[in-house]
């Protein structure tokens, strides 16, 4: 079963707007990671946030983690058409650090 | 520095045929993984390896076998392909356990089983 579930499944915004994607998970984790996948390509790592961190930034990306609610959010500010892709959260469970379990993803469309 | 390389990129099989997917990484990573991705879904872990000569089952291991004879290579085998194995297969590697560091992904193998 999937550990992480993203919401929404699909998101369409205008260029320049902010995009927010959410991820919920079920069990205790060591860390949570966000990946991006362009159509037909492999996944590219965006950001990793550890269980003892609450917020992390990388360029136009901002990730938050709320372990009490078992949820995370990815914010992309000032979106660009090139941000069009699928975004996946992946969790590393506390009891199984070798495995990274992926959610089903959010498909983001940024309209020019 | 090629990173993670998967071969082949595309393959069409008939039901019952066998094949091997090859993953090679040149980053000296200990950990390697095979995932499958079905339309509209996330990645599901098939098998993984924590070092040369080791393999372990993931979420969906049935119908697949793997081998890690050399540190840089991780092979995924389908002994008797079934239509349900039509998918895109991704290999990944990491220097530390996948749960503690990021994964580096290959570009995928699109497999169709007729």
* Structure confidence by residue, pLDDT tens digits, B60-77: 999 999 999 999 999 999
For A81-93, what is the mean pLDDT? Answer: 92
pLDDT of B40 reads 75
Q: Is the pLDDT of residue A111 over 70?
A: yes
Which residues on A lie below 8 Å from B92 (Cβ)? Answer: 43
| CA atoms of B114 and A26, how far apart (whole Å) | 37
Residues of A in contact with B7 (CB under 8 A): none
Report chain A's mean pLDDT, rounded to a whole number. Answer: 91
> What is the structure's pLDDT at A1?
44
Q: In 3-state terms, what secondary structure has residue B58?
A: coil
Contact criterion met (CB < 8 Å) for A92 and B106: no
Inspect the interface and report whether the beta carbons of B99 and A44 lie closer than 8 Å. Answer: no
In sequence order, which residues have a C-beta less than 8 Å from that of residue B14 and are 6 or more positions away? Answer: B81, B113, B114
- B61: burial class by Cβ within 10 Å (0-12, 13-18, 19+)? middle
The pLDDT of residue A39: 84
CB contact under 8 A, A97 and B102: no
Strand order in the sheet with B65-67: B4-7, B19-25, B73-78, B65-67
For the ranges A1-5, A21-25, B15-19, the lowest mean pLDDT is seen at A1-5
Q: What tokens appear for B2 in the block?
A: 């090629």
Can you tell me which residue has the tokens 């205790």?
A28
């Amino acid at each position: 079963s999937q550990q992480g579930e993203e919401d929404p499944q699909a998101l369409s915004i205008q260029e320049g707007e902010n995009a927010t994607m959410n991820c919920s998970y079920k069990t205790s984790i060591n860390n949570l990671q966000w990946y991006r996948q362009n159509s037909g390509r492999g996944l590219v790592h965006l950001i990793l946030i550890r269980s003892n961190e609450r917020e992390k930034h990388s360029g136009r990306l901002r990730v938050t983690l709320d372990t009490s609610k078992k949820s995370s959010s990815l914010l992309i500010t000032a979106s660009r058409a090139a941000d069009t892709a699928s975004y996946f959260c992946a969790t590393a469970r506390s009891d199984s650090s070798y495995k990274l379990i992926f959610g089903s993803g959010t498909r983001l469309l940024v309209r020019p | 520095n090629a990173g993670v390389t998967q071969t082949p990129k595309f393959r069409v099989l008939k039901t019952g045929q066998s094949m091997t997917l090859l993953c090679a990484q040149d980053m000296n990573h200990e950990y390697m993984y095979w995932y499958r991705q079905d339309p509209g879904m996330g990645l599901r872990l098939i098998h993984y390896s924590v070092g040369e000569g080791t393999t372990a089952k993931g979420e969906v291991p049935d119908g697949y076998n793997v081998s890690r004879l050399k540190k840089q290579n991780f092979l995924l085998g389908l002994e008797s392909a079934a239509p349900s194995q039509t998918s895109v297969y991704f290999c990944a590697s990491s220097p530390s356990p996948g749960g503690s560091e990021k994964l580096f992904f290959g570009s995928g193998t699109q497999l169709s089983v007729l």
